[in-house]
Structure formats: C-alpha cells, structure tokens
Amino acid sequence: MMLMAVQTAELREALERWFGFPTFRPSQEAIVRDVLDGRDVFALLPTGGGKSLCYQLPAVLTPGLTVVISPLIALMKDQVDALDTAGIGATALNSSLEWPELRRRLDRLERGEYKLLYVAPERLTLPGFADDLERWNVARFVVDEAHCISEWGHDFRPEYRRIAPLRERFPDVAFCAFTATATARVRDDVVAQLGLRRPAVHVASFDRANLAYRVLHSPRTVDALVKWLRARPDDEAGIVYAGSRANTEKLAGALCAAGIPALAYHAGLDSATRGKRQEAFIRDDVRVMCATIAFGMGIDKSNVRFVVHWDVPRSLEGYYQETGRAGRDGLPAECAWFFAYGDIARVERFVEEKPEGERAAARDQLERVKRYAYSNACRRRELLAYFGEIYPHERCENCDNCLQPRASFDATTDAQKLLSCIYRVRESHGYGVGIAHVIDVLIGAKTEKIDRWYHDRLSTYGIGKDRDRHAWRHLADELLRLGLIAQDAARHNVVSLTDAGRRALVERTPVVIREAVAPVTGRRGRTAAAPRVGDDEAYDRDLFAVLRALRREIAGERDVPPYVVFSDAVLRAMARDVPRSPAQLRAISGVGEKKLADFGARFLAAIAQSVD
Ligand code: ADP
Ligand code: ZN
C-alpha cells in the first residue's frame, strides 16, 4: 500500500496540530515516513524516546484503522486517554469491559469512527475477531513492546505468539514492531517471529541525556535515603526499587514514618491492591513507590523524576530498563543507586547457589554490574557500551564520575595496617570477625568483645588511632573493591585476606585508592559546573505549583492521569514563559489544537490570577 509522499512541511504541521510539538525527536520523522509508506518497520527506541507518536501520527494522517497490540490493559487505557485528550479517536477492546460499553465501541468501530484500536494479543484468536478486522479496514498492525514475543527477552508473553498468524490472514497489511529492549538476539528474534518482510529497521541511540546516573557509595541507610528525598522538591515523584518484598515494605514504612508519602508494590499483593497503588502513583497521589521489579512495564507516567536502586540490580540491562522509567518527558531526572558493599557478597553467594546451568551466565551478569558500580569512568559511556553503542564524548557531565571525579591517592601504609590487623585478629580468633570489630581494634576502642577476646593485646591494637572510623571503613571498601580482602556473606560478613591481599601484605605492594564520596546530598548539592540537558531552573515554582494543582483538578474531572492533560515539561514551560494569550499558550511545545481549545482558558485564567 503506497501512500502519498508526505511533505516535510505537512508532517510538521500535523505534529504541531495534533501533538503541539514543534519538532520531531531523533529518529521519529524517519520512522513516521516508513510507516506512512506502508513498509514493515522494526524500531528500537529507548524508553521515553517517543515511540507512540511514530504510529499515532501516521494513524491520523491515513485512512483506515491502526490496530495496536499491547500487552497490558493499564497501558492501553493510558494511551487511549492520552489520544482522547488530544482529540484523536481511539479505543481499546479488552476482557474487562461490560457488555453495553463493549457494544458501543464495536458499533463505532463498524462505523469507522476510530483511528486507533488497542487490543491485547489474546483477542486476536477470539472466534470472529479476524472477520471483524476485515470489515474495519485495517491500515496497519502495530506491535508494541514487541520484545514480549521473544523468549530471550525479559518479558516473554506466550500470547504474543498469536500475532504471527495474522500475517497470513492480512498479507497486504504492514506490520510495525516497537520495543525498547536492546539485545541483538531479541532484535533478530522479533523480526523472525513476526515474519517481518524486509522491514525498515531503525535503531535510535539509547542515550537518555536528561538522566543523571549516580552510584552513591556513602553508607546505605534509610536515613540517607530520607535525606536524599528531602533534598528534592516535594512535588517530585519517583520509584525506589528494592530486591525483595520485605525491603519494599520496610522502606515504604520508614519513608511514611519520616513524613514522605510512600507505598509498597510487589507481586505478593493481590491484584486489586496492586492496581490501586499503581493508580495512586500514576495520579500523583503518592510520592514514592517502593517496589520490586514487578512494578515496571505498565508505568507510562512521564513525570517520574527519580529512580533509586536500593539493592543490587540483576543485570546492567535490567538496571537500564528500570532507570529508563525516569524522565520520559525529557526533563532532568535522577538515577541513584545506593550502593552497599555487603550486598555484593550476598548476591555472589546467591549466584553460587544457583543450579550449575545458570551459574555462568549469572556470574557474568553480576561481574558487569560490579564493574559498573566500581568504575571511575563515565557511567553513561559504560551503560551505552553495554548495548554496543559508543558514546561520542569522553565525558557526559551528567553522572557522578563526570561531575565529581574522585582523586586517587597512595594508601599503602594504611592498607598495611588494615591488612595486618585482619591477619592478626583472624590468627588469634579462629571464628573470624566482621570489619567493624577489626576497625575497633585498629582505633584502639574499648568494647566488650575486645575485652573478652584480649584483642587489646594484639600488636595492631590502636595503630590506627590517627584516623576515624569512617576513614577506615572507606579503606576497607576500597580493599574489597580491589580484591585484597573478602567478606563472607554466608558467615555474618566475616572478613579475610584474599591471596592477593596476603601477597600485598608480605610484599608491601603499593595500594592506590580513591577518595570517599561526599555524603549523600541529593540534587541540590551538586556542582553547578556542567551544563545539563533541559535543565532550565528559571521558572516560577509557585506558578508551577498552581498549574499542577489545576492539572490535577482537570485530570480528576476527566478521570485520566494528570500527565495526560499536560506533561511536566509543558507546565514548566508555562511557568517560565508565562503565556498571557491563547496564541502564546499555543506556542508552547506540547500544547496542541484540541488541548488549547479544551484547557486553554482555564490555564490562562490561573496564570493571570496568580501573576497579577
Ligand atoms: P516511549 O513509549 O518511547 O517510552 P512515549 O511515546 O511515551 O515514549 O513518549 C515519551 C514522552 O515524550 C511523552 O511525554 C511524549 O509526549 C513526549 N514526546 C514524544 N515525541 C515528542 C516530540 N517530538 N517532542 C516533544 N515531546 C515528545
Ligand atoms: Zn558521565
């Protein structure tokens, strides 16, 4: 089906009119053109890259129905709400609909009143559905979250296998697959499983320039997390990922106790509770979601301002997907991993307990994660390298290693003290001890254990008086990182010298370590030196709060998520440019024709009232 060659000006005009955006994001225009040309398309864009627009714009520009296959009802609902609000006819069919509503939608489909139809893959094989599609004049099939078709992906959904047979039934209709999951294996598998025909392949850069990546090495305590959250504006919402159900509950409880509205989310909750909590987060009713990775794909919320990792991510790929949920609206967002050395030992042990067949792969994953955490180099460079992409700059100026490079210095003498102290303590004490006790001995503390075990008689007792506990703790972390000492998670984190550590002690090998990072401060504490993408802080925060409240009110009236009305980016632009007329409001990116007509007057009135 060859369609008209659409002019650039025409495309831009439609983009402006329906979505209110002045320009395409990288790759969007090329993809839109291939979709309009009726080609099969395979497009890989990072989360937040703007995939939906790539098929929604063609849908409004061409006759017929665009059928979007999507894995989750919640996702479909958000998309339909967003399209509705933008004045684009869209609907979804799913098993949760009551009969009268279903009938109404089917009638409108018969009359060709929608441009887009969202369905779950299960529906494709319902008796009669393909016949319905024949009548509805399908312009193209879009497979969203296309990696779900592959067993190699992290979200395999067997129902996705029902898509391929459609190809035989509709041989002339184009198939377009979209995903944010990157590995080459999954990519090839998707193309093969869907039977894409000479698809136009688009692989966008995976760089998310507006995301700041940090690995926080200061002690990981709930207190530190509370401080970090308090340092951020309290209208900013985000996710804290934890590795276990218990941790999500513990953290949510602690945050609530500290006055930060938080909820826990994990697979152990019944689906009604999960649904309610997800809704609360999406609607800006709760600030922090403490979640396991069960909280993920269904989250389309564009104003997630931070993603915190509390436990060790399973893989770098997983880390990238999870952090990718921050900052979809393109505004600056933080990805902070509260790193704890003890955790690595725990996960290592867990890996060693895996069945033989899975061990090698798991070890490899953990090794990559560990290298990332310990690295001194630009985080963005490393993350992109993981996906086979070479970041074109040496430094990104938006990660901890670029913003706060840490100096290295020679710590051979202190390392000798610490290593020999571990050695002495272990010699005298058959069961082994944790690092805290070793440090007590070094600084010459008087503790019950030191008394009981006569450790004040060791030659290393008090030889480290000149430094405080934190300095020794940091040195121990560095020696762990350098592999000179080891912690045994199976035995209460007992420390010991590794072979390399023993050699270093005997041969007095020079030991160079890095400075400790400054204590956690969150964003306000960052250095101002580096330019950051979209980091325009010059907006009226009070006005922003007023607009946000209005957005929430309108969202409530329409029963849609607030970011569907206007994104944070749009509200910030309003609070910066302070538009006083419909034309000025319309000039803001993200304010399209329909939204101006529906909401313009109320936003202008609110602006006038709060500025005058
Ligand atoms: P993805 O599905 O790839 O994660 P979305 O389609 O949800 O991304 O888009 C992410 C955000 O980017 C949305 O808030 C959307 O409105 C915005 N967006 C998409 N295209 C553009 C554009 N050309 N200009 C400005 N914002 C855009
Ligand atoms: Zn960097």
Tokens at residue 112, please? Answer: 């060709």
Both 42 and 156 in one domain: the answer is yes
610 vs 164: CA distance, rounded Å:
55
Residue 240 Cα, ligand 2 centroid: separation in angstroms? 22
Strands 512-514 and 408-410: antiparallel
Give the whole-angstrom CA distance, residue 556 versus residue 568.
17
Same structural domain, 423 and 466: yes
Q: Please name which ligand lies nearest the alpha carbon of 206.
A: 1
Tell me the CA–centroid distance for residue 317 and ligand 1, in Å: 22
Between the CA of 287 and the centroid of ligand 1 the distance, in Å, is: 22
Using alpha carbons, select from 283, 255, 251, 286 the residue that is nearest to residue 266: 251
Report the alpha-carbon distance of residue 573 to residue 219 in Å, rounded.
38
* Residue 548 belongs to domain with CATH number: 1.10.150.80
pLDDT of residue 220: 87
Specify whether 326 is located in the same domain as 388: yes
Domains contained in the chain, number: 4
Q: Among 371, 387, 403, where does a domain finish?
A: 403
Helix (H, G, I), strand (E, B) or coil at 396: coil
**Beta-bridge partners for 40:** none
**pLDDT < 50 positions in the chain:** 1-3, 520-533, 535
Tokens describing residue 391: 């970041």
Residue nearest to ligand 1 atom 24, measured at CA: 21
What is the C-alpha to C-alpha distance for residues 15 and 396, in angstroms, rounded to an integer? 30
Distance (Å, whole) CA 149 – CA 69: 11
Q: For residue 605, what are the contacts with CB-CB under 8 A and spacing of at least 6?
A: none
How deeply is 524 buried, as exposed, middle or buried, from its count of CB atoms within 10 A (0-12, 13-18, 19+)?
exposed
Q: Both 384 and 415 in a single domain?
A: no
Same domain, 52 and 21: yes
Extract the tokens encoding 35.
Answer: 């979709």
Mutating to test ligand 1, I would choose from 29, 147, 329, 571 the residue with most ligand atoms within 8 A of its C-beta, which is 329
DSSP 298-335: T---TTEEEEEE-S--S-HHHHHHHHTTS-TTSS-EEE
- Residue 12 phi/psi, 5° resolution? -60, -40
Q: Which residues line ligand 1 (CB under 6 A)?
A: 21, 24-25, 28, 45, 47-53, 300, 302, 328-329, 567, 589
Residue 31 tokens, joined: 């993809």
497 is a domain residue = yes
DSSP string, 527-584: -S-S--TT----S-HHHHHHHHHHHHHHHHHHTS-HHHHS-HHHHHHHHHH---SHHH
37 and 186 belong to one structural domain:
yes
CA 296 to centroid of chain Cα atoms: 8
CATH number, domain containing residue 20? 3.40.50.300
Q: What's the 197 CA to ligand 1 centre distance in angstroms?
A: 27
Burial string for 251-279 (b: 16+ CB within 10 Å, else e) reads bbebbbeeebebbbbbeebeeeebeebbe
Ligand 1 atom closest to Cα of 49?
3
Return d(Cα 241, Cα 471) in angstroms, integer. 29
CA of 49 to the centre of ligand 1 (A): 6
Of the candidates 184, 181, 149, 168, the one whose C-alpha atom is nearest the C-alpha of residue 71 is 149
Assess if residue 575 is contained within a domain.
Answer: yes
CATH no. for residue 466? 1.10.10.10
Residues near 203 by beta carbon (within 8 Å), at least 6 away in sequence: 43, 44
Instruction: Assess whether 428 and 497 both reside in one domain.
Output: yes
Residue 6: name the closest of 25, 24, 30, 23 by CA: 30
> Closest Cα to residue 336, out of 298, 296, 288?
288
Q: Does 336 fall in a domain?
A: yes
Decide which of 403, 433, 456 is a domain's last residue: 403
Domain final residue pick, 497, 514, 531? 514
Same domain (yes/no): 443, 367: no
Residues 354 and 333 in one domain: yes
Could you tell me the CA-to-CA distances from 90 to 59, 67, 364 in Å, in that order?
10, 10, 45
**Which residue blocks in 144-244 are alpha helix, DSSP H?**
166-169, 184-194, 222-230
Alpha helices per DSSP H over 309-396: 316-323, 341-352, 356-374, 379-386
**pTM over 0.85, yes/no:** no
Tokens read off for 357 = 């067949």
Give me ligand 1 centre to Cα 351, in Å: 38
Residue 46 CA: nearest ligand 1 atom is 3
Tokens of 170: 């509709």
Nearest CA to ligand 1 atom 18: 50
From the number of C-beta atoms within 10 Å of its C-beta (0-12, 13-18, 19+), residue 507 rates as exposed
Minimal-distance CA residue to ligand 1 atom 2? 51
Domain, as residue range, for 233:
211-403
